[in-house]
Structures are given as structure tokens and as C-alpha cells.
Amino acid sequence: MSGVRASEKSGSATQFAEEFDGAPAKPSGKPLPPMAQVSGDLQREVERFLYRQAEILDDRRWDDYVALFTESGHYWMPVTETQTTGDGVPSIFYEDVDLMRLRAKRVMHPRAWSQKPGHRTSHVVSNVIVESVDAAGNLVVRSKFYMSEFRRDAVRHFAGKYRHELKKTAGGYRIELQRVDLVNGDGTWDYVIQTWV
């Protein structure tokens, strides 16, 4: 007995799918994010600031890290890239400087059990793009980071992007907002993050 062969009525896979789903949507044509034309000096100044910040984190100098922020500053790690604010919506971190001080005190407490042993990190910051400069010299800066974390025989990898809103002050730049988007922010977490990335 011969098998039954597909007839022309069976059509194509695309026809079969589009009978239920319709045609796929066209791409939105979103513009590229903005990029300011800045001098080499300014570019280097911003990079030095970011390198310094990474060094402070890797050296576990928590008080010095909090001191990089303005008194109204925030450290924000959203769950997804689509979030536009950390105020009133769930985030992984959304800390003002009081909450940052709390985190610093907890990590330094002698009975913070999950700091026995503690963790060590190494940050690399790169792809630094100044997004905008205002008349007062305040900056918005985008960059990428890679952080390797070691704790009790295990190494974890974190990658993502920073977006810094930097305020120009007499004593140098201070952070008004540091946004940190991890590539796996909405993924499943193996353990937690105890300090800032």
C-alpha cells in the first residue's frame, strides 16, 4: 500500500503559521542612543572616575564608595532594561545613601555570616560613552562592565552596563544616579549579591 502524499492544500509552514498568528510585526526602527562629541581630556577624566570607582569596589572600601554619591544620590539595579525608574517599582537594588550605609554596615559587621568567608571581586570597565554634557558640566555616561566574583571556591561572572548621572562639584564628580543593568537581571539567581556591582 502506498503512503498518502501531501496535497497542494497543505500549503507551506509560513501559511500554516500565519493562518493563526497573522504576519509578523515590522521592526520599530528605534534610533541609536545619543552620544556627545567631547574632548579627549573630558573623555579621559570620565574614564579615570569610572576606574577609580571600580578600584574602590574591588578594594572593599564601602564607606568610600558611598561617599562617591551625592546626598540625594541613588544606586539602582533594575530587573529589566525596559524599566524607566526605580521609584515605586520592584528592582534588585534601589538604594538611597541611607540604605547604602545600612548595606555597608552589615557587610562590615563581625557577625555577617555570609561574609565568612567574604567575597572578592575584580571589575573591568570599558566602552565609555559620554551621552550628554549640560551647561554646568554635569554628565550622563554609559559604559560596560565585567565583574568576576570569588567566594568559597566558586567564581561567578557578572556582565552588563552602567549609566552614570554625574554631578560636577568643586571636589570632582559625584554620582546622582548609578544605573546598573545586568544581562541576567531577570534570570534565576544562584545565591544573592551582597554588595554593589
Partner 1 sequence: MSTVTIGSKADINAMVEPDRVHKRCYTDQAIFDAEIERIFERTWIYVGHESQVKNVGDYYTTLIGRQPVIMVRAKDGKVNVVYNRCPHRGAMLCADHSGNTGTTFKCPYHAWRFNLDGTLLKIPVIEGYQGTRFDTSDPQFHMKKVARVDSYRGFVFASLVPDVPDLVTFLGGAKIAFDDMCNRAPDGEVEVVPNCFRVIQKSNWKIFLENQLDAVHPSITHEAAGRAAFEVEKDIEKRTGKKAHLQYHMLSAFTMPFHKFDAMDNVGHANGHLVFRGYMDLRRADPEMVEYLKIMHAKHGEKRTEEILSVDIHHVIGYPCLSVQPPLQQLRAIRPIGPDRTLSEIWHFRLKGAPEGMYRRALAYYQLVNSPSTTINADDLENWWRCQQGLFSSGGDWVSFHRNAGQDRVQANGTIVSVTGMSELPMRHMMGAWKDYMVKGAAQ
User: What residues line the site for partner 1 (CB under 8 A)?
Assistant: 1, 3-7, 10, 13, 16-17, 20-21, 77, 79, 88-94, 98-99, 101-107, 109-115, 187-194
Q: What secondary structure does DSSP assign to 156-171, as a single string?
A: EEEEEEEEEEEEEETT
- CB of residue 82 to partner 1, shortest distance in Å: 12
Q: Return left, alpha or beta for 85; rule: phi > 0 is left, psi -120 to 50 is alpha, else beta.
A: beta
The residue (of 33 and 90) whose beta carbon lies closer to partner 1 is: 90
- CB of residue 102 to partner 1, shortest distance in Å: 5
The residue (of 38 and 193) whose beta carbon lies closer to partner 1 is: 193
The residue (of 3 and 27) whose beta carbon lies closer to partner 1 is: 3
- Tell me the three state secondary structure of residue 125: strand
- CB of residue 156 to partner 1, shortest distance in Å: 12
The residue (of 36 and 193) whose beta carbon lies closer to partner 1 is: 193
Distance CA 61, CA 17 (A): 57
Distance CA 139, CA 147 (A): 24
The residue (of 42 and 92) whose beta carbon lies closer to partner 1 is: 92
- CB of residue 74 to partner 1, shortest distance in Å: 13
- CB of residue 128 to partner 1, shortest distance in Å: 25
- Asked if residues 50 and 143 have their Cβ atoms less than 8 Å apart, the reply is yes
- Asked if residues 138 and 37 have their Cβ atoms less than 8 Å apart, the reply is no
Distance CA 180, CA 92 (A): 10
- List beta partners, residue 174: 167
